[in-house]
Chains A and B, each alone.
Chain A
Amino acid sequence: MDGQQLHKGVFVIADNILSPIGSTTAENMRHLKSGESGVQQYIDTNILPDTFSASLFSQSHTFLEQEGDYTKFEQLLIASITDSVKELPEIVSSERTILIISSTKGNISLLETETHNTGLYQRIALHTSAGLVAQHFGFVHTPIIVSNACISGVVAIITGMRLLQSRDYDHAIVVGADVISKFVLSGFGSFQALSDELCKPFDKDRKGINLGEGAATVVLSTVANNRDNLKILGGAISNDANHISGPSRTGEELAWAINEALAEADLTYSDISFISAHGTATMYNDEMEANAINIAGMQTIPVNSLKGYYGHTLGAAGLIETVVSLHSLKEGIILPTPGFQNSGVSKPLNVSAEMFKGPLENGLKTASGFGGCNAALVFGK
């Protein structure tokens, strides 16, 4: 530890991304920079009557050397945490450390394959998985579990940041994961929200999302362990109070969260070098985000969506996309938005279509989800 003191925000001292395109952050970044996507087309009438595209692990993928009795969801969590803390054993066992888990559906796929009984209902509860993961590593405290639709990952990071700022803990290991099965695919399919080909965020021909599975972890700390550590500087959450399955008509509520997150970071919109949007490639989400970004005055700032690389990874999305954005900032690159060609939102937006290289200072991550929820996170050097 070099003992760098914190003025505001919290340090990100380690991270991991576990996705179909890589098992470490470095591997993911390498593949992202070469334009590799995890999204493939699937035809499987046992799951969906129609062709769909998604970013899924192959059936033979192994996550842990010893799987034990852990489900795929738990293996994702364990593998992602293991990689992120491999050089930080003292943090895992510290009573000053809290584990925060983000997921929307956890072990829900077991309902499709296992006999329904009370034991199964207990087994698939998120707190059961959290207990097993905590026990695996020997965490001192009961983990905190966030399940707040598609903003879960961003909310989990905000939760961790605040618990550190109030000095309740010194370290927060924030992990998110979701597994894609018939349950989730059929649900999004019922909304006519799935694209059969690579999704096209913010594009005029966008026709829906790709789902994706994966996990990611950030290790937050009140103390830096490296000169390069980036910081989470501010975050905020809001609700549209408009509709449970459709976004705000105006985008004002996401814009409010963006402004609150900026205020907490002591920054203004012009200090932001790029935005990692939610960008699901549904008609309504992308339009709402374009509105919000305009209300916040950020329409000339480069914005990308990573959904074309990973699909929408639900409870992992906020974490995966934050980790990619942190490393983008560090490396001075803004990744392009796969699938985007011609703007199809009604407000001006500077969608990143080509790889940009140059110095970057601060970034913004946004997310929105069912239940009318929005979240914004500001990070920087």
Chain B
Amino acid sequence: MTEQKYITAWCSVFNNKVAKNGMQLFDGKTVSIDEFVVGVYKYLQVQYPKFYKMDNLSKLGWLATEVLLKDNIEKGSYAPEQIAVVLANANASLDSDLRYLASVKDGASPALFVYTLPNIVIGEICIRNGFKGENTFYIAAHFDAAMMYRQVSETMGHKAEVCVCGWVDVFGEDYKAVLFLVETHKEGIPFSETNLKKLFESN
């Protein structure tokens, strides 16, 4: 429980830009969120057709996780159950809630309804990466570094060796994702409330 943990990578996606560990990787210029997420997907040069079926919250979280994990976690280096995902945001799934509700009068769509839960983005991340550990989605008005630090510490104290955690929020054209990779047995930035807050605000 008290073992020091480290932030071994972090990634931010907002303002049409993608950055990893403080270095800008991609600038989508000024475009709509729909165009931006597809731009990032193409930039990453991965083949994952399911990406196009996701809502914007899942697309954003999925893309941020791709960037976060690239060259940082080797497949098979951890058991699937040892990898946890803890995310939070302010708007839950409101972006998809409105799209779903608008569709109901013409016949409710299960493909839209399934995205009316914020934790679906966690499901998409777990499917992509084969993560089977603890997973929880919290709602908060703002990124609460103290709460995130505490919840990730609890999760890692109990079951997990690795945790993908952070903030993924989308509403209309407003979006922001800042994700952190937290590991136990690797060097990095010490995992603390202060460092989470500092890195979140530096983006």
Contacts and interface: CB of A to CB of B under 8 A. Distances in A.
Given A190-B108, A373-B119, A241 B127 contact: yes
A162 interface: yes
A126 B94 CA distance: 10
Contact of B158 (A142, A236, A243): A236
Contacts of A188: 113
Contacts of A147: 92, 117-119, 137-139
Contacts of B90: 125, 127
B91 interface: yes
B135 interface: yes
A30 B25 CA distance: 62
A148 B127 contact: no
A174 interface: no
Q: How many A residues are at the interface, by size bracket?
A: 35 or more
Interface stretch (A37-45, A54-62, A179-187): A179-187
Given A144-B147, A187-B116, A371 B1 contact: no
A177 to B, nearest CB: 14
Contacts of B139: 125-127, 130, 145-147
Contacts of B186: none
Contacts of A166: 1, 150, 153-154, 157
Contacts of A189: 108
Contacts of B133: 238-239
B54 to A, nearest CB: 9
B100 A127 contact: no
B65 to A, nearest CB: 13
11 contacts: A116-B98, A142-B144, A147-B139, A148-B119, A148-B136, A187-B113, A189-B108, A239-B123, A239-B131, A241-B132, A253-B132
Interface of A: 104-106, 108, 111-112, 116, 121, 124-127, 130-131, 142, 144-149, 155, 159, 162-163, 166, 168, 182-183, 186-191, 236-245, 253, 256, 260, 264, 369-373
Among all A-B residue pairs, the 3 with the closest Cβ atoms: A371-B123, A187-B113, A190-B108
